[in-house]
Amino acid sequence: MHKYFAHETAVIDKDCEIGEGTKIWHFSHIMSGCRIGDSCNIGQNVVISPAVCLGKNVKIQNNVSVYTGVICEDDVFLGPSMVFTNVINPRSHVNRKNEYAETIVRKGASIGANATIICGNEIGSYALIGAGSVITKPVKAFALVVGNPAKQIGWVSENGHRLHFENQDFAKCPETNQEYQLENNEVKRIK
């Protein structure tokens, strides 16, 4: 008996580790060697390529391909039809499987619908990538980025609310009242 749910149309290859409480929906394909944490939700028509690692509570919306070289830490959200790449200069006639570049999506980060993440970049903890954005360089923790190519336009809290650093580089999340500090163009939550 599995500790996870897989829809009858899902395909799960050998040698996958799938955590307790995870749900895998219609027409999704989990390829060999994947490690998927507890309580993940993998939407319809999702492909998880060989050796991908997903942390706990990762939410992947419909029509997403998570390619070899991608690592998603706990609590990551991947929006509908967003795209990862894994080779900088793909060519049909050139095999570059040994050139896959690692992409890391840190804890709590969210990537909006139809965004594209160019491989080899790190998305910082709790960063928020706007829908349709194209990420061509690393994204800082708590950064709010939008556009093509994506540019940082602000900062967000762990709950995804815009932070307004008005009084001496401190801000509060309007939902939780958690406090944040902006110092040297980096944001950190004050415990």
**CATH number reported for the structural domain that contains residue 104 in this entry:** 2.160.10.10
Question: Low-confidence residues of the chain, pLDDT below 50?
Answer: none
How many whole angstroms separate alpha carbon 2 and alpha carbon 115?
Answer: 33
Which residue in 116, 120, 114 sits closest to 138, CA to CA? 120
Residue 184 inside a domain? The answer is: no
pLDDT at 2: 81
H helix and E strand count, the chain:
0, 26
Q: Are 130 and 143 in contact (CB under 8 A)?
A: no
Residue 12 inside a domain? The answer is: yes
Residue 183 inside a domain? The answer is: no
Residue 185 inside a domain? The answer is: no
Percent of the chain beyond pLDDT 70?
A: 99
Q: Are 172 and 180 in contact (CB under 8 A)?
A: yes
pTM for the full predicted model: 0.96
Say whether the peptide bond before residue 90 is cis (omega within 30 degrees of 0).
no
Instruction: List, for residues 54-75, the tens digit of each pLDDT value.
Output: 999 999 999 999 999 999 999 9
Number of domains in the chain: 1
pLDDT at 105: 98
Residue 97 inside a domain? The answer is: yes
Residue 9 inside a domain? The answer is: yes
Residue 189 inside a domain? The answer is: no
Residue 26 inside a domain? The answer is: yes
Parallel, antiparallel or unpaired: strands 186-190 and 17-18: unpaired
Q: Which domain holds residue 153?
A: 5-160
